[in-house]
C-alpha cells in the first residue's frame, strides 16, 4: 500500500515536521525546503526481481518519478518489470544503463554479492543510489560503499524501511523519552516454517535463483533478516554493541543449502546491556518480533503494541478467580504463594499508533529517496543507519563462522554521533 507522506506525518502528529529530529533525524528529508512538486526524477532500476518490482510498484505511482530504464540479466525479471513500466528502456548490462546520461538515480536490488561493484560504479557515474540491504557482502565492502558516498557527495539510501515506518518512529520517540523506563535488553527473532526456496525452472539456474542459500552469494538469515532487526535494537539503545557471539547450524533443511537454518546471536554492550537475535526456520509459532524490554514497559514493534509493566487493577471477577487459586495453592504443603510461577503478563497492551499497523515504511522510504535525490540533500543518519545495520549482521556472521566472541572491529567505525562514533569519540571506545 502506498502511503502519502502527509498521512505519515499526520499519523505521527507531526505535520509541521522537526519534532522527531533527535530520534529519527532522517525525517528532515520531508522538511520541504525546496518545492519539488513540478520535478521528476529520472530513475533506473538495476535488478527488478522480487524486491525490485515491489519497490518499482511504489515508484511507478509516484508523480515525481520517471522510471526510464531497467537492467537485468534474467529475461523473466525483465518481462515482469515491463508489465509495471512498459516504456522503460531495457539493458542487459547494468554498466550500459549507467552510461545513460538522462538517468539521475538508480535503485539496486540485485543479490547481495553483486551490490558493492554496482553501487561503486553507479556513484562513479554520478548517480544517486538506493541499495537494498544488506549493502555489502562483507564489512570491507560496506566501508568502501559508504566512503564512496562521502567522496562523491551523492545521495545514498539503503533498504531499511523500518526507519520510515510510523509505528517504529513513534515508538522510538517514546523509548527515548523514557516512557518505558530504562531499556536493558532488546530481543528479536524471525522464525518461519518453510524452506526459503524458490522454484527453479531449470537445474542450471539453482544457484542463480536461490542465491540466498549459497555462501558465494549470501550470508543467509543474518544478511537477509537480522540486518533489519539489529538496526531496530541499536536505534532503541542509541549505541553500538561492544561484543558479539553466536552459533549457527543446519538442523532441519538438509537439502544442499550452505547457509544456516538455525541461528542464535548475542550482542553485548559496554555496560552489559544485551541484544539477542535469532532465527529458526523449522518452527513458526512465534513468527517475528522485536521486543524492547524496559523497566516500566515493553514494546513489540512488529505487532505495533506496547505494554506497561504495571497494569491497571483487574476486574472483580478475575480478582476473585485469582483469590480462589491462591487459596487452593496456599493450602498445599509443599509451597506457599511463592510457588506461583512468574508467567507472562496478561496485559493486552495498546497500539502504538492507536490502531493495527497498516504499512511497513517501504513506500515512504522510496518517497524519501526521491525527495533526497531531487534536492540533492542527503538526510541525516540514513546512510549511517544502513551502514551500521549491515556491519552488525556481517560482524555477527563472522562471530558465528569463527566460533569466537568478537570485539567490535574499530576500523569500521564511521563518523556518526548518534552511536558515539564520531572520529574524536571512536578513539576512546
Ligand atoms: N528491504 C527488504 O525488506 C527486502 C526484502 C526482500 C529482499 N530485499 C533485498 O533485495 C535484494 C534482492 O532480493 P530479491 O528477493 O528481489 O532477489 P531476486 O533474486 O528476486 O531478484 C534479484 C534480481 O537481480 C537480477 N540480477 C542478478 N544479477 C544481476 C546483475 N549482475 N545485473 C543486473 N541484474 C542482476 C536477477 O536476475 C533478479 O531479477 C537483496 O539484496 C535482498 O536482500 C530486501
Is residue 241 within 8 A of residue 421, CB to CB? The reply is no
CA of 178 to the centre of ligand 1 (A): 39
Closest ligand 1 atom number to CA of residue 161? 1
Minimum CA distance residue for ligand 1 atom 25: 47
- Which residue shows C-alpha cell 478467580? 321
CATH of 5-161+360-387 given 3.40.220.10, 3.40.50.720, 3.40.50.150, 2.60.130.10: 3.40.50.720
Model pLDDT, residue 425: 54
pLDDT value, residue 384: 98
Inform me whether the pLDDT recorded for 429 exceeds 50.
no
For 197, residues 6+ apart whose C-beta sits below 8 A from its C-beta are 210, 213, 255
| pLDDT reading at 138 higher than 70 | yes
Beta strand pairing status for 274-280 and 262-268? Answer: antiparallel
pLDDT above 70 for 323: no
pLDDT at position 11: 63
The beta strands (E) that lie in 115-225 are given as 128-131, 156-158, 183-190
Is it the case that residue 140 has pLDDT exceeding 90?
Answer: yes
From ligand 1's centre to the CA of 8, what distance in Å?
27
| The predicted structure's pLDDT at residue 427 | 54
Cα gap 145→123, rounded to integer Å: 9
Average pLDDT, rounded, for the chain: 91
Q: DSSP for 299-343, please give it.
A: EETTTTEEEESSPPPPPHHHHHHHHHHHHHHHHSSS--GGGS--P
For the cut 90, the answer to whether the pLDDT of residue 155 exceeds it is: yes
- CB within 6 Å of ligand 1 — which residues? 46-52, 71-74, 77, 94, 109-112, 114, 132-133, 159, 161, 224
Burial class (CB within 10 angstroms; exposed 0-12, middle 13-18, buried 19+) of 365: buried
* Strand ranges across the sheet with 65-71: 89-91, 65-71, 41-46, 105-108, 128-131, 156-158
Given 3.30.360.10, 3.40.605.10, 3.40.50.970, 3.20.20.10, which CATH number is that of 164-312+345-358?
A: 3.30.360.10
Query: Span 310-316, mean pLDDT?
Result: 68
pLDDT given for residue 58 in this prediction: 97
pLDDT at 144 over 90: yes
Structure confidence by residue, pLDDT tens digits, 355-381 = 998 888 999 999 999 999 999 999 999
Task: Name which residue sits closest to atom 9 of ligand 1, judged by CA.
Answer: 132
Backbone angles phi, psi at 241, to 5 degrees: -70, 160
Model-level pTM?
A: 0.92
Going by alpha carbons, the residue nearest to atom 2 of ligand 1 is 159
The domain ranges of the chain are 5-161+360-387, 164-312+345-358, 315-341
Given pLDDT bands bounded at 50, 70 and 90, which one contains residue 331? very low
Task: State in Å: Cα 110 to ligand 1 middle.
Answer: 3
Sheet of 406-407: strands edge to edge?
350-351, 305-308, 297-300, 288-294, 183-190, 274-280, 262-268, 243-249, 406-407
**pLDDT value at position 249?**
98
**Mean pLDDT confidence for 257-286:** 98
In percent, the amount of the chain with pLDDT more than 90 equals 78
State how far the Cα of 228 lies from the Cα of 246, in Å rounded to an integer: 17
Nearest CA to ligand 1 atom 32: 72
In this predicted structure, the answer to whether residue 172 has a pLDDT above a threshold of 80 is yes
41-46 vs 105-108, strand pairing mode: parallel
158 has pLDDT over 60: yes
CA of 103 to the centre of ligand 1 (A): 20
pLDDT bucket at 67, cuts 50 / 70 / 90:
very high
Instruction: Work out the average pLDDT over 176-205.
Output: 97
Q: Closest Cα to atom 11, ligand 1: which residue?
A: 109
**b/e 172-187 (16+ beta carbons within 10 angstroms → b):** bbbbbeeebeebeebb
Q: How far is the CA of 262 from the centre of ligand 1 (A)?
A: 23
Mean pLDDT of 330-355: 73
Indicate the range of 271-275, 322-326, 328-332 predicted with least confidence.
328-332
Query: What is the enclosing helix (H) or strand (E) of 79?
Result: helix 75-84
Decide which of 11 and 224 is more confident.
224
What's the pLDDT tens digit per position in 9-32?
Answer: 666 665 454 556 678 889 888 877
Helix ranges (DSSP H) in 125-226: 139-152, 166-176, 206-209, 221
Give the three-state DSSP class for 116. helix
Ligand 1 pocket mutation pick from 53, 54, 70, 72 by most atoms within 8 angstroms of CB:
72
Amino acid at each position: 500500500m502506498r502511503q502519502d507522506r502527509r498521512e505519515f506525518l499526520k499519523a505521527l502528529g507531526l505535520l509541521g515536521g522537526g519534532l522527531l529530529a533527535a530520534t529519527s533525524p532522517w525525517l528532515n528529508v520531508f522538511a520541504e525546503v525546496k518545492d519539488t512538486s513540478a520535478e521528476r526524477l529520472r530513475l533506473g532500476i538495476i535488478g527488478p526481481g522480487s524486491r525490485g518490482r515491489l519497490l518499482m510498484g511504489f515508484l511507478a505511482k509516484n508523480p515525481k518519478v520517471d522510471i526510464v530504464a531497467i537492467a537485468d540479466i534474467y529475461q523473466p525479471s525483465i518481462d515482469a518489470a515491463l508489465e509495471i513500466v512498459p516504456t522503460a528502456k531495457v539493458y542487459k548490462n547494468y554498466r550500459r544503463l549507467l552510461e545513460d546520461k538522462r538517468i539521475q538515480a538508480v535503485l539496486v536490488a540485485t543479490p547481495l554479492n553483486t551490490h558493492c561493484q554496482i553501487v561503486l560504479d553507479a556513484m562513479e557515474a554520478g548517480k544517486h543510489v538506493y541499495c537494498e540491504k544488506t549493502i555489502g557482502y562483507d564489512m570491507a565492502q560496506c566501508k568502501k560503499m559508504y566512503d564512496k558516498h562521502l567522496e562523491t557527495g551523492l545521495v545514498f539510501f539503503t533498504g531499511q524501511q523500518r526507519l520510515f515506518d510510523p509505528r517504529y518512529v513513534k515508538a522510538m520517540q517514546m523509548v527515548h523519552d523514557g516512557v518505558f523506563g530504562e531499556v536493558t535488553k532488546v530481543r528479536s527473532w524471525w522464525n518461519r516454517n518453510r524452506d526459503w526456496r524458490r522454484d527453479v525452472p531449470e537445474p542450471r539456474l539453482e544457484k542463480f535463483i536461490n542465491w540466498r542459500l549459497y555462501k558465494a552469494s549470501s550470508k543467509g538469515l543474518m544478511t537477509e533478516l537480522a540486518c533489519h532487526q539489529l538496526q531496530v535494537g541499536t536505534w532503541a539503545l542509541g549505541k553500538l554493541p561492544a561484543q558479539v557471539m553466536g552459533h549457527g547450524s543446519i538442523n532441519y533443511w538438509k537439502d544442499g543449502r550452505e547457509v544456516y537454518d538455525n541461528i542464535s546471536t548475542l550482542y553485548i554492550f559496554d555496560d552489559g546491556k544485551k541484544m539477542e537475535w535469532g532465527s529458526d526456520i523449522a518452527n513458526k509459532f512465534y513468527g517475528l518480533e522485536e521486543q524492547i524490554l524496559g523497566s516500566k514497559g515493553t514494546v513489540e514493534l512488529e505487532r505495533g503494541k506496547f505494554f506497561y509493566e504495571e497494569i491497571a487493577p483487574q476486574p472483580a471477577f478475575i480478582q476473585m478467580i485469582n483469590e480462589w487459586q491462591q487459596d487452593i495453592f496456599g493450602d498445599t504443603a509443599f509451597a506457599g504463594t511463592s510457588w506461583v510461577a512468574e508467567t507472562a503478563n496478561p496485559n493486552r497492551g495498546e497500539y502504538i499508533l492507536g490502531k493495527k499497523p497498516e504499512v511497513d515504511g517501504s513506500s515512504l522510504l522510496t518517497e524519501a529517496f526521491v525527495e533526497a535525490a531531487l534536492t540533492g540533500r542527503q538526510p541525516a543518519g540514513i546512510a549511517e543507519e544502513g551502514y551500521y545495520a549491515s556491519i552488525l549482521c556481517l560482524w555477527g556472521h563472522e562471530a558465528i563462522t569463527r566460533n569466537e566472541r568478537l570485539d567490535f572491529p574499530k576500523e569500521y567505525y564511521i563518523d556518526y554521533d548518534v552511536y558515539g562514533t564520531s572520529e574524536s569519540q571512536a578513539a576512546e571506545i
